[in-house]
Structure 1
Amino acid sequence: MKRKKQIIVSVTNDLVADNRVHKVCTSLEEMGFGVLLVGRKLKNSQPINRSYLTHRMRLCFTKGAFFYTEYNFRLLLFLLFRKADVLLANDLDTLTANYFASKIKRVPVVYDSHEYFTEVPELIDRPRVKQFWEWLESRMLPNLKHCYTVCDSIAAVYHEKYGASFKVVRNIPVSKNRLQLIENENQPKIILYQGAVNIGRGLEQAIKAMHFIEGAQLVIAGDGDIKQQLEELVRTEKLENKVRFTGRLSIDELAELTPTADLGLSIEEDLGLNYRFALPNKLFDYIGAGVPVLVSDLPEMKAIVEKYDIGAICNSHDHKNLANAVNEALNNSDKIKTWKTNLIQTSQELTWENEAEVLKGIFAEFL
């Protein structure tokens, strides 16, 4: 019997809510790989049960330079002493360990860039830290043969900067996991934001906009650096009855929540190229659940919404203008009817089963 080729996939999160990585691991497993997903264990990490193997490391540090150094050192040791035929690094913060392990063990490394890492808002005002990540990126990316990312814009930037050829695998949901839209008759309409609760996501403005939106509740599903700050803002603005935080949800919990929404928000601010070129998981999750969307006037998201006519585009992050856009999206019955009709067809086209064909093309040569 032919031995299964083994692939080790690495991330810096605790694996619980990373839907993209879960889909990739499942597709690789279906191709015939033996998959081992490596991440980290946090104090509040939930149990996980996957069809593929997982390993979570307990680290001394949880953020900053010491965390990234410790993680990559520990990951490098792990990769060196585990059998692997292929390594898959997710994002720049895992690439260093994978890159050196690949060189030492002489096994191929594949790079999945989930975002334009060196242009994230958290690095904009930290030039020395940004310069360090850019230096690391410039030393490794030109030497990589197998790369993919989440949208055409980021792929084009990497090609222009480093001559690297990136394929595109978008964050599209699995069709068989979709739930039917749940009608909330006689209940407040749900405006949903799901994802990382970090700076530049338009969440402060969305909360303040709720002063001017009636008959609806803003649900923020996720966790992140500014969650406590946003909770304090809700108390200060006396909006406790209009804004609800769920905390971080598992993939299955989120799949139950998303279809209950009446409008899905993806209103990133134009803070650097990473957000300008954003094509987030949540946008496709809303589409897959049949939920109309409101997105920022940024090129990748705007192109999807305009192509399929599945929602509205907000041209301003001023909270009053945002409120007007939300009210229009929630109450214009003619537009809602059109969007929901189009969402049915769009969700049939934009499926992970279709998108995974690109992924399979990348990894087929390693079988």
Structure 2
Amino acid sequence: MKVLVSVFNNLFTDQRVEKVCRTLSENGYEIELIGNSWGGLPEMSRPYLFSRIPLKSQSLKLAYPEFNWKLYKILLNKADRNTILLSNDLDTLLANYLVSKKLGIPLVFDSHEIFTEMPAINGRFTQRIWRSLEQFIVPKLEFMMTASESYADWFEGTYGIKRPTVVQNFPAGIENPQNYSEINQKKIILYQGVINPSRGLDKMIPAMKDMENTEFWICGDGPRKDEYLALSKSLGMEEKVKFLGKLLPEKLREITKKADVGLSIEENNGLSYFYSMPNKVSDYIQSRIPVVVSNFPQMGKIIDRFQAGEKINHHDELAEKINIVLENGKKFYEHALNKASEELCWEKEEPKIISLFKKIKK
């Protein structure tokens, strides 16, 4: 059976979509992944078909409708009665929904986040547009996945739908890569992910003044990078705050295992962040790096269940909590992280996807 998968990005670093596609491909489904040129067209290879729709629009508010119109025409051309559509996030849903209704074929909606509750659109006119689209389509959906237990609860409660299948975005399990005899001369505090508002980076950079013999490594790129570079410079922290840029997954894993602590310190500026289980938390754990996280429902559970680090209630606790983890050292958390890594891995999530698609196939 053919699965047409669509997502609004250039596919290069979207690990969730890649893992879902690979899982379905390895279980006998014919995959074709469709992205776009937003963010460039870096070279890449995949063991299944993929393509990227060229976009002429220079702003997101124009790129979204352009992409959906072009995607609609492509899906209509490629789909047949033996096709399942897989729409990733709200920004691909309209085209998929219209093709699904027109051809009478099944649609799976994979919501990686609560798109309408993202900090970037909270309180803006665009939030009302996206929410109208969500309210129009989501209650009509038969098949849905999402990336955290709290997201599933929210969609079920908000729209009265059958609870979505929860497929958490964990990495594949690996053996412990740590060599505990190797000790960093300066302790490394790591953040990986998009440099966006509400990620806590503007709180962490000033906190480095209270962190002795440490460096803060930021792996990623995004709209606030220049602002945070300027903040580091204004505070005289250029030597302590390192911006390493966007990295390929394999390179990022090499850097992650060198760190002494990993951060996921989002601010509560929208339910999408508050209910999230960020990819980076499980990435740190697979690399056996202890974590400091915001005390939000999903992240807080990880600390409570596995004792794999510390949680903060306010960002003024950052230096205190990070210092606790650094003083304990990575070896102190080895057992907890090994236990967590066995549970928070893709191998535990794959059966949920396979079961859902078998149900659709029937």
Shorter-normalised TM range:
over 0.9
Amino acid at match of 1:341: H
Q: Does residue 1:359 correspond to 2:359, yes or no?
A: no
Amino acid at match of 1:350: L
CA 88–242 in structure 1, closer or farther in 2 if over 3 Å, else same: same
What are the Cα deviations for residues 22-61 of structure 1, in whole angstroms up to 9, with x where unaligned? 1101101111011111111246442111111111122012
Q: Is the 8 A contact 1:87 1:102 kept in 2?
A: yes
Amino acid at match of 1:340: E
Q: How far, CA to CA, are the matches of 1:76 and 1:182 in structure 2?
A: 50
SS in 2 for 1:35: strand
Q: How far, CA to CA, are the matches of 1:74 and 1:255 in structure 2?
A: 35
110-119 vs 62-71, greater mean Cα deviation: 62-71
Aligned partner of 1:98 among 91, 96, 103? 96
Alignment of 1:1-367 (within 5 A): 5-42=1-38, 44-83=40-79, 85-126=83-124, 128-165=125-162, 166-176=164-174, 180-182=177-179, 184-318=182-316, 321-333=317-329, 336-367=330-361
Q: Is the 8 A contact 2:97 2:107 kept in 1?
A: yes
CA 186–317 in structure 1, closer or farther in 2 if over 3 Å, else same: closer
Amino acid at match of 1:197: I
Q: How far, CA to CA, are the matches of 1:43 and 1:306 in structure 2?
A: 38
TM-score norm. by structure 2 comes to 0.95
Aligned-residue identity in percent: 39
Q: How far, CA to CA, are the matches of 1:330 and 1:131 in structure 2?
A: 44
Offset at 1:231? 1.1
SS in 1 for 2:209: helix
Q: How far, CA to CA, are the matches of 1:179 and 1:105 in structure 2?
A: 48
CA 247–186 in structure 1, closer or farther in 2 if over 3 Å, else same: closer
Count of aligned positions:
357
Q: Is the 8 A contact 1:16 1:251 kept in 2?
A: no
SS in 2 for 1:112: strand
CA 363–262 in structure 1, closer or farther in 2 if over 3 Å, else same: same
142-151 vs 337-346, greater mean Cα deviation: 337-346
Q: Is the 8 A contact 2:10 2:39 kept in 1?
A: no
Q: How far, CA to CA, are the matches of 2:251 and 2:319 in structure 1?
A: 28
SS in 1 for 2:262: strand
Offset at 1:16? 1.0
SS in 2 for 1:39: strand
CA 186–20 in structure 1, closer or farther in 2 if over 3 Å, else same: closer
SS in 2 for 1:132: helix
SS in 1 for 2:359: helix
Gaps of 5+ in 1: none
SS in 1 for 2:121: helix
Q: How far, CA to CA, are the matches of 1:211 and 1:45 in structure 2?
A: 39
Q: How far, CA to CA, are the matches of 1:10 and 1:142 in structure 2?
A: 20
Offset at 1:204? 0.6
SS in 1 for 2:188: strand
Q: Is the 8 A contact 2:10 2:40 kept in 1?
A: no
Q: How far, CA to CA, are the matches of 1:172 and 1:148 in structure 2?
A: 14
SS in 1 for 2:191: strand
Q: How far, CA to CA, are the matches of 1:167 and 1:237 in structure 2?
A: 46
Amino acid at match of 2:214: A
SS in 1 for 2:78: coil
Offset at 1:366? 4.1
CA 172–186 in structure 1, closer or farther in 2 if over 3 Å, else same: closer
Q: How far, CA to CA, are the matches of 1:40 and 1:365 in structure 2?
A: 30
SS in 2 for 1:76: helix
Q: How far, CA to CA, are the matches of 2:159 and 2:70 in structure 1?
A: 28
Q: How far, CA to CA, are the matches of 1:42 and 1:95 in structure 2?
A: 17
Offset at 1:360? 0.9
Q: How far, CA to CA, are the matches of 1:45 and 1:90 in structure 2?
A: 19
